[in-house]
Amino acid sequence: MINPAKNFTLDEYIEILRRRMWYVIIPFVLVMAGASIYAITAPREYKASTLVLISPQKVPTAFVQTTVTSQVEERLQSIAQEVMSRTSLEKIITELRLYEKKRKSLSKEEIVELMRKNIKVELPTTKRAEKTGFFSLSFIGDDPNTVTTVANRLSSLFIEENLKVREQQASGTTEFMVNELAEAKAKLDKMEASVAKYNRRTTRVYDEPKIEYAETEKDKLKRELEALRTKYTDNHPDVIAMKKKIDDLEKNKDTSGSVVQVNKPRLRVEQIPLHEQNMGARGKEYESMKEIYEVLLKKNQEAQQAENLERRQKGEQFKVIDPAIVPEKPFSPDVPKILLISLFAGLASGLALAFVREQMDRSFHDADDVEISLGIKVLATIPEIEEKAS
């Protein structure tokens, strides 16, 4: 184009379109022809879907708290990995005789991967739908009856696996609580025995009554002797008699053990405050461990209730509310959609090609092109003369 800055009128655009008509028609025809051939020859694929409801727990949570606290999305991912494992899919492929033609050219791993791609698990995309609690499960294949059977089979596997996963989680929690409770009980029993042993050892301070009586009698005689000395001299008969009693009392005891017998109980009595302090600390530790044990005991009972809830299938469950039905129309290719897209694509490609060809054109089409190209003023133009039939 000689004058790219030129402002075109509607008539000029129509003239350009008429001049470049074949540049528009040919790409349009080619694109539409290719799309039509694809729509006719492409293999038909059918899609069967099931709608699975996430049924809430049947027993009120105020009575029994479930130990399965994972979100639905997390459990669905875990269940999907189990259901779509190689072992599980190979079993379905063998039982339902899937992909018989493709098995001749593809390996087992490739067939399994192909089936994985044909399985779709779709969660609700809106917040309102998420509250209702459901998800859809679909399967895509080349036979309408087969895809229906596979979709229903997969939904059954999801339901069974969900019950299995929930029961395993509940039983695992119960097993953990049982082990924790056993360890706490062992610690509590050991601590209780230690406290009892310490109490028995402490109470020995008040034992040995004969030793305490002997010491008390001697002290009593000494006090009486001191009292007599305040009144009488050492030669007084009463003073002499008291001294004799004290001497007789000391002779009746084992001299080698008299000091021990006198000092040992005294040392124990002096240790009583320390014993009481240690006993109080041990008592607090025992009470703390007892509280922990009681808490674990309660949690263990709750875990067992939650396990029974899952075993009796009273917890959250998956339930098929819309089973898969045989599709009447193929899922792919979508012929109307393909033709509509090819229509716009053909027009766009044709117009684009015409625009490019017009930009590359260096011929004169009006007086402005001549003036810009040659730099001379055009005085007059002769309109195009069309031949008319006589």
Question: What CATH number is attached to the domain comprising 60?
Answer: 3.30.70.1130
Q: What is the mean pLDDT of residues 188-199?
A: 81
* Whether 278 and 343 share a structural domain: no
pLDDT score recorded for residue 266:
47
pLDDT score recorded for residue 92:
93
- Evaluate whether residue 383 is within a structural domain: no
Render pLDDT for 64-97 as a digit per residue (tens, 0 to 9): 777 776 677 787 888 888 899 999 999 999 999 9
- The band of 341, judged by pLDDT with boundaries at 50, 70 and 90, is very high
* Whether 283 and 193 share a structural domain: yes
Measured distance CA(256)–CA(258) in Å, rounded: 6
Q: Got the DSSP string for 226-239?
A: HHHHTTS-TTSHHH
Domain holding 188, by residue range, is 183-298
**Which range among 110-114, 146-150, 315-319 shows the weakest confidence by mean pLDDT?**
315-319
* Whether 252 and 350 share a structural domain: no
DSSP class of residue 45 equals B
Residue type at position 80: A
- Long-range contacts, stretch 168-172, CB < 8 angstroms, 24+ apart: 169/67, 169/68, 169/70, 170/66, 170/67, 170/68, 170/303, 170/306, 170/307, 170/309, 170/310, 170/311, 170/315, 171/307, 171/310
314 or 115: whose pLDDT is higher?
115
**Which range among 157-166, 232-241, 269-278, 378-387 shows the weakest confidence by mean pLDDT?**
269-278
* Whether 33 and 78 share a structural domain: no
- The band of 250, judged by pLDDT with boundaries at 50, 70 and 90, is confident
Residue type at position 381: T
* Whether 276 and 188 share a structural domain: yes
- Evaluate whether residue 379 is within a structural domain: no
Q: For residue 45, what are the β-bridge partners? A: 332
* Whether 317 and 274 share a structural domain: no
* Whether 63 and 152 share a structural domain: yes
Q: What is the mean pLDDT of residues 146-151?
A: 94
* Whether 143 and 189 share a structural domain: no
In the numeric block, which tokens belong to residue 372?
């810009």
203 or 264: whose pLDDT is higher?
203
3-class DSSP state for residue 139? strand
Q: Got the DSSP string for 293-343?
A: HHHHHHHHHHHHHHHHHHHTT-S-EEEEEE-----SS-SBS-HHHHHHHHH
- Evaluate whether residue 382 is within a structural domain: no
Measured distance CA(214)–CA(179) in Å, rounded: 56
Pairing of strands 119-122, 134-141: antiparallel
* Whether 136 and 223 share a structural domain: no
Which of 9-13, 92-96, 362-366, 382-386 is predicted most confidently?
A: 92-96
Q: Cβ(251)–Cβ(272) under 8 Å? A: no
pLDDT score recorded for residue 323:
93
Return the residue matching tokens 């699975």.
52
pLDDT at 247 over 80: yes
User: CA quadruple 91, 96, 97, 99: dihedral positive or negative?
Assistant: negative
Please state the domain count of the chain: 3
* Whether 170 and 69 share a structural domain: yes
- Evaluate whether residue 133 is within a structural domain: yes
- Evaluate whether residue 112 is within a structural domain: yes
* Whether 71 and 162 share a structural domain: yes
* Whether 111 and 93 share a structural domain: yes
Q: What is the pTM (predicted TM-score) of this model?
A: 0.58
